[in-house]
Amino acid sequence: MAFNGSGTFVRLYNWVNDKAASIKVRADRMDNEMDGFATGLSTCITKDGQTTLTANIPFSGRKITGYGSSSTPNSRTDVPSLGQAQDGTLNWVDGGGTADAITAAYSPAITALVDGQICNVRATAANATTTPTFSPNGLTARTIVKNGGQALVAGDIYGDGHQLILRYDLTNTRWELLNPSVVPAAVTASSSTTFTNKTLNQASNSLIFNQCKRCATQFDKTSSTTFGDVTDLSVTLSAGTYSFRVSATTLVPSGVGGKFTFAFGGTSTSYNARSIIFNSGSAVGGTTSTTLGANLGLGTTNAVDQFYATGTIVVTVSGAFSFQFAQNTSSGSTASVLVGTTLEIIQLA
């Protein structure tokens, strides 16, 4: 009988009971008992790998410990260890081939392409064509696409070291690149066109303006209540609608006060601005204005160390747009706009 089907080994006879029952030791009974031992032992898993399993093994929530992994696995049917899964190298390899004919040698080898299969590979160069291919382990090279079938553009594979994530589409027999590089669209322009700090609005083929100017030299006012352009914070605006924002760090002592405004040398049909003023971390004032050149400061002699303003302007004739500063009261003391103050301009239309 050997094992009873629940893992318990069951003997055929009991020698003590046989003695009590005056049953002699007989060859047939010994053979039957020994045959049971042999059957039981043959049912066990041998530690040296002789046994081939004939059924699933129920582990009842237990785990296999000390499981090793070969440094050179040679079969897709091998059980991976947690370490191999954690290392993430079962489906990753340093790529080979060329920039537009990528190859990879996975171990164990991939023997067939399956729908949804993911392969990770490190590229060796940027793609130069729109139809690069990928071939793992010598299988048929298939074209690499992106975004559900779009052709790649040159540089979607950024270059040597780009870690590619490829998923196979069996229906369309192609590889989908899940992480293409972000490549700016090519822009054709005449030699006289300037694109500094501008990007192309592809819907209207117009240039959208975006600049952030930074004050690199401290701007001082001493005993002067006349507005002056703050150093570096002036931008030429062409026709269009713009939003603007100033973040100013100032050194305006008590008894002097500061005046802040915006000036424009062209023609505008609409302007509005809103300001808020701080001293020692507390808001001490703020105002709104629809008039260029109007004071957005306190109009007092209070100290000021932070000034913020936002607004919009509609330009019809181009000109210079500037952030300006002056003392509110001429006292002989110096009031300053400090290095790091910024003026940001964004074209809305």
Residue 174 tokens read as: 């192609």
The H or E element that residue 97 is part of is strand 96-98
Of 62-76, 136-150, 200-214, 312-326, the poorest mean pLDDT is in 200-214
Q: List C-alpha distances in Å: 191 to 184, 188, 194, 220.
A: 20, 10, 8, 40
In terms of Cβ atoms closer than 10 Å to its own Cβ (0-12, 13-18, 19+), residue 22 is exposed
Smallest CA-to-CA distance from 286 within 264, 269, 306 is with 306
> In sequence order, what are the beta bridge partners of 314?
241, 270
Instruction: Report H helices in the chain.
Output: 15-20, 27-43, 82-87
Percent helix, percent strand, percent coil in the chain, to nearest 5:
10, 40, 50
Residue 195: pLDDT above 80?
no
33: its two tokens: 């008992």
> Phi, psi at residue 43, to the nearest 5°?
-80, -20
Q: How far is Cα 90 from Cα 204, in angstroms, rounded to an integer?
A: 48
pLDDT the model gives residue 202 = 47
Q: Which residue spans of the chain are classified as CATH 2.60.120?
A: 207-347
CA distance 97 to 138: 11
207-347 maps to CATH 3.30.160: no
Model confidence at 79: pLDDT above 90: no
Q: What percent of the chain is modeled with pLDDT above 90?
A: 45
At 149-192, the pLDDT tens digits run 999 999 999 999 999 999 999 999 999 999 998 655 555 555 55
The predicted structure's pLDDT at residue 205: 43
Burial of 232 (0-12, 13-18, 19+ CB in 10 A): middle
127-141 per-position pLDDT tens digit: 999 999 999 999 999
**Residue 30 corresponds to which amino acid?**
M
* Per-position b or e across 60-93, b if 16+ CB within 10 A of its CB: eeeeeeeeeeeeeeeeeeeeeeeebeeeeeeebb
Check if the beta carbon of residue 342 is closer than 8 Å to that of residue 214. Answer: yes
pLDDT digits (tens, 9 = 90+) for 215-261: 999 998 887 889 999 989 999 999 999 999 999 888 888 777 788 99
Phi, psi dihedral angles at 159 (to 5 degrees): 155, -170
